[in-house]
């Protein structure tokens, strides 16, 4: 598999996902949406439901989509089948009535099916196959102190964005003068994918009676629960977070811990079985629950081998996408977590996100906000009072779990070796050129990928 790079997006992934570099100031958004202040619930109630297209329109569009890719005799046969499908009292009308009935009973007749078929029923590993990595510009620190300071501001930036979500003050996005649904912004934080034997599920704890007040921090393959709110409900300051991250790093200096997180890189059926085995143990179940309930995960990586220019960007892309294998940082992750921020000791930083709860725009908007927040000048803060010691999450590793970890290492290493990643910065033109020719920039890139493969 090859990683192909597109400067019009910040999403990095294998296969057909695009990959790119964030611009120095604003990360590129997948759509040109404008934002207007507004209350979320009031806004949502005013949105129309997703319409069910008329049967004839659906059939016509199906034929139009097939015309460039099937032979003439196949197209003739398909037209005949479609004509029978549309006949009065036929199968098409029955299915159409079923869809219209569902549309009248649900907020969105398609979304649940889409998430199940596109993501939760998909059994290949989420790493590389469906979870995008996002690479940010390299930051100007090269040591542990700088890493911790930046990570503290990053956490504070996410909490600042979360405040807008919690207070329903997140600006409403508009496209073509029409308001967009903002539901996915409320699915990104405090959510996690749960492995199943045949189908996964997604749980969002933000909507629970006691929403999470902690994040998960993973350093040297060791997981910690870090409470990020004071008793009065105010978020910890960057200085307070800095002190807490220092405690975590001091408590996890050994590098021989079992990388339990690498289990999340497995084929979903395999991970589903390993998961049930892992959480048989009460301690393990509690630790996994803390990770799943957390607002997000912060992964503190070490430094990577020194590289420059295109080679550095390609290595950083791999680090964000899958962690580099068992000898690097693939075990320093929990890939089921919806949002993982990754901060390396050498200034490399970015994120990885599990795709089921949300598409790209909410993730990019959040990260755009966080990057801007970290660039703000630091203000003098009052000395922090005593804070609780972050809680280490313990795992009891049985021989069976140890075997599952070793098998996950082998599978992850095979996957990592099978992916070639080369980041190319395309400077000739951007999204305005295809748009000037009335082409979708996304479709333009998809066709470019196919043309490159064909050649």
Active site residues: 355
**Which residue's entry shows tokens 């979360």?**
162
Rounded to an integer, what is the distance from CA 95 to the centroid of its chain?
Answer: 34
Pairwise CA distance, residues 158 & 189, whole Å: 9
Pairwise CA distance, residues 367 & 374, whole Å: 10
Pairwise CA distance, residues 271 & 263, whole Å: 6
Pairwise CA distance, residues 398 & 410, whole Å: 19
Rounded to an integer, what is the distance from CA 356 to the centroid of its chain?
Answer: 8
Instruction: List the one residue out of 316, 329, 374 whose CA is nearest residue 146.
Output: 374
Pairwise CA distance, residues 414 & 334, whole Å: 19
Q: CA quadruple 440, 356, 366, 144: dihedral positive or negative?
A: negative
For the CA atoms of 73, 77, 78, 81, what is the dihedral angle to 10 degrees? 180
For the CA atoms of 353, 355, 359, 362, what is the dihedral angle to 10 degrees? -30
């Amino acid at each position: 598999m090859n990683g192909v790079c597109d400067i019009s997006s910040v999403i990095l992934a294998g296969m057909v996902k695009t990959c790119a570099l964030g611009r120095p100031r604003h990360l590129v958004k997948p759509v040109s949406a404008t934002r207007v202040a507004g209350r979320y619930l009031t806004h949502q109630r005013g949105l129309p439901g997703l319409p069910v297209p008329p049967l004839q329109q659906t059939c016509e569009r199906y034929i139009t989509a097939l015309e460039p890719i099937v032979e003439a005799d196949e197209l003739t046969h398909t037209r005949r089948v479609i004509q029978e499908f549309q006949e009065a009292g036929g199968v098409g009308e029955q299915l159409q009535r079923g869809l219209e009935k569902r549309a009248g009973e649900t907020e969105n007749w398609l979304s649940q099916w889409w998430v199940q078929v596109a993501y939760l029923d998909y059994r290949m590993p989420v790493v590389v196959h469906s979870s995008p990595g996002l690479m940010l510009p390299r930051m100007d620190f090269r040591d542990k102190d700088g890493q911790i300071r930046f990570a503290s501001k990053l956490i504070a930036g996410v909490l600042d964005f979360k405040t807008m979500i919690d207070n329903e003050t997140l600006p409403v996005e508009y496209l073509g003068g029409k308001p967009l649904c903002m539901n996915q912004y409320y699915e990104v934080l405090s959510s996690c994918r749960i492995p199943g034997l045949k189908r996964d599920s997604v749980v969002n704890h933000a909507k629970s009676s006691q929403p999470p007040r902690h994040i998960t921090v993973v350093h040297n393959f060791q997981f910690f629960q870090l409470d990020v709110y004071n008793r009065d409900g105010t978020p910890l300051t960057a200085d307070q977070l800095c002190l807490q991250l220092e405690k975590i790093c001091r408590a996890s200096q050994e590098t021989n811990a079992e990388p339990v997180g690498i289990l999340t890189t497995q084929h979903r059926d395999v991970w589903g079985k390993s998961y049930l085995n892992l959480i048989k143990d009460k301690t393990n179940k509690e630790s996994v629950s803390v990770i799943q309930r957390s607002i997000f995960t912060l992964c503190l990586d070490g430094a990577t081998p020194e590289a420059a220019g295109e080679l550095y960007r390609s290595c950083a892309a791999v680090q964000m996408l899958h962690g580099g294998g068992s000898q690097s940082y693939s075990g320093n992750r929990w890939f089921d977590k919806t949002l993982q921020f990754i901060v390396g000791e050498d200034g490399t930083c970015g994120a990885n996100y599990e795709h089921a709860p949300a598409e790209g725009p909410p993730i990019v908007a959040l990260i755009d906000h966080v990057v801007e927040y970290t660039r703000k000048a630091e203000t003098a803060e009052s000395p922090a009072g005593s804070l609780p010691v972050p809680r280490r999450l313990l795992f009891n590793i049985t021989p069976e779990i140890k075997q599952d970890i070793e098998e996950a290492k082998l599978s992850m290493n095979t996957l990592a070796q099978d992916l070639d990643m080369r980041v190319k910065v395309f400077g000739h033109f951007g999204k305005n050129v295809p748009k000037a020719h009335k082409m979708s920039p996304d479709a333009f890139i998809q066709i470019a990928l196919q043309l490159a493969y064909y050649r």
